[in-house]
């Protein structure tokens, strides 16, 4: 459930990010150059965000696999020595806690990537404004 909520939040954030990354138009060659630079900057910021998420996603997958393997080992122990509901329930509860820990780690890393992207986007805007304001009058 937490994973679905986080995915929905991520989709919403990406949608908002898309809205804030609208292309700008230009009339003069200088303004066109500023606009092109701005659009390239935003694309680079998005690429940086996408690249930033690769490591956390791999870490999450590894973490979840380890949680799965640990639960399977616990099930084996339950099957062999303690075939009682409390044993299997404990294995499931341990798995849930482990997966929540994996998700928390991913969420923290994703927020870091998002913050970096927003800083990059702000830098793009500031650079665009300085460029545009430095263009000669029409």
Terminal CA-to-CA distance of the chain, rounded, Å?
Answer: 56
In a domain, 104, yes or no: yes
In a domain, 87, yes or no: yes
Q: What pLDDT score was predicted for residue 22? A: 53
In a domain, 48, yes or no: yes
Tokens at 92, concatenated: 């499931």
In a domain, 15, yes or no: no
Buried/exposed code over 10-20 (b: 16+ C-beta within 10 A; e: otherwise): eeeeeeebeee
Tally Cβ neighbours within 10 Å of residue 94.
14
Tally Cβ neighbours within 10 Å of residue 30.
15
The 8-class DSSP code of residue 21 comes to T
- Containing domain of residue 102, as a range? 34-131
Q: What pLDDT score was predicted for residue 27? A: 81
In a domain, 2, yes or no: no
pTM of the model: 0.71
In a domain, 54, yes or no: yes
Contacts with 29 (C-beta within 8 Å, 6 or more apart), sequence order = none
Whether 12 has a pLDDT exceeding 50, the answer reads: no
Tokens at 125, concatenated: 């805007």
Buried/exposed code over 65-87 (b: 16+ C-beta within 10 A; e: otherwise): eebeeebeebeeebeeeeeeeeb
In a domain, 57, yes or no: yes
In a domain, 16, yes or no: no
Q: What pLDDT score was predicted for residue 137? A: 82
pLDDT in tens, 95-126: 999 999 999 999 999 999 999 999 999 999 99
Please give the tally of structural domains in the chain: 1
């Amino acid at each position: 459930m937490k994973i679905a909520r986080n995915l929905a939040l991520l989709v919403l954030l990406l949608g908002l990010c898309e809205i804030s990354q609208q292309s700008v138009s230009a009339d003069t060659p200088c303004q066109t150059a500023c606009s092109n630079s701005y659009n390239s900057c935003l694309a680079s910021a998005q690429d940086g965000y996408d690249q930033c998420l690769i490591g956390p996603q791999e870490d999450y997958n590894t973490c979840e696999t380890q949680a799965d393997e640990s639960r399977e080992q616990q099930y084996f122990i339950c099957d062999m020595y303690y075939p009682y509901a409390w044993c299997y329930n404990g294995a499931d509860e341990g798995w849930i806690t482990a997966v929540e820990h994996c998700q928390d780690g991913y969420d923290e890393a994703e927020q870091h990537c998002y913050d970096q992207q927003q800083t990059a986007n702000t830098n793009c805007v500031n650079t665009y404004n300085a460029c545009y304001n430095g263009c000669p009058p029409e």
